[in-house]
Amino acid sequence: MIFDKEIDFYTKIAPELNSMLTAGGHDEIRVPWFVYSCMQPLNVLIFLEDLRARGLRCMTDIKDRMKHVKSVMQEVARLHALSYVLQARLPERDLTDKYLSLKKDWLNKGGEEKQMYTSMMAGNYDNTIVMPRKIGGYEKVAKWIEKNTQNCLDIMQNQITRVPPFEVLCHGDCRNNSMLFRYNDDSIPAEVMLLENQISRVASPGTDLTYFLFTSVSSDVRKPNLDPFLACYYSTFSSFIQAG
């Protein structure tokens, strides 16, 4: 399912978003070039370009954390805004009806699969409980995690439930492990590329923003700069909505 979603993104969704961008004189969204895929049983393959040739690499020692975060906020805003414009151009049809893979979501699974995912997530929760107790001062957090270990999938499902009109195409796994950066000569990020579009879905833009800001930005950077980060996102989002 997740490979099917990723192939759909590179072969159907990204090209349509890019056609809107190039028609308006903008740069394409920053995703790898798709080369080849095979979806035969026990032989699932996806080939993308080697991004090292473009100078893209994992996040290095952060020299300017503000610019890292802002570059991500701008790229996520472009993805969200373009999908919003695309939906506006399809008033009688939902994006998930045009791109059927968006209807598929591992959180929608039931029966044995849901139980498997719950067990997998519960194991992660058990490890997570250790952290707030070790740090100290977060006993309430630890108790909440303990209480909701078996409800984790239901809580996540509730968080991504579509609530019109706050609906855009979300990356779904918006964290620093799903991104590559290209740096200039001063080691400042000049470009960011979002990867691993395997769990993209239509949901509130807040799901991507919250996920990124609370998994990939340390509190000493996030707390005093939350308003500038959101203003950066909103500025890019609104400019592309108006252009579209």
Task: Read off the pLDDT of each residue in 12-29 and give the average, rounded to a whole number.
Answer: 89
Angle between helices 65-88 and 205-215 (to 10 degrees): 170
pLDDT band at 202 (very low <50, low <70, confident <90, very high): very high
pLDDT in tens, 63-104: 568 889 999 999 999 999 999 999 999 888 999 999 999 998
Q: CA 41 from chain center: how many Å?
A: 28
**Cα(112)–Cα(174) distance, rounded to whole angstroms?**
27
Q: What is the pTM of this model?
A: 0.90
pLDDT at 190 over 90: no
Task: Read off the pLDDT of each residue in 227-242 and give the average, rounded to a whole number.
Answer: 95
Closest CA to 239 of 88, 82, 91, 90: 82
pLDDT band at 61 (very low <50, low <70, confident <90, very high): low
Residue 148 has a pLDDT of: 87
Starting at the edge strand found earlier in the chain, the sheet holding 189-194 runs 56-57, 179-183, 189-194
Average pLDDT of the chain to the nearest whole number: 89
Residue 105 has a pLDDT of: 86
**Cα(194)–Cα(165) distance, rounded to whole angstroms?**
25
Closest CA to 3 of 48, 58, 53: 48
pLDDT at 109 over 80: no
> Are 59 and 191 within 8 A, CB to CB?
no
> Are 51 and 180 within 8 A, CB to CB?
yes
- At residue 234, the 3 state secondary structure works out as helix
Residue 34 has a pLDDT of: 93
pLDDT band at 175 (very low <50, low <70, confident <90, very high): very high
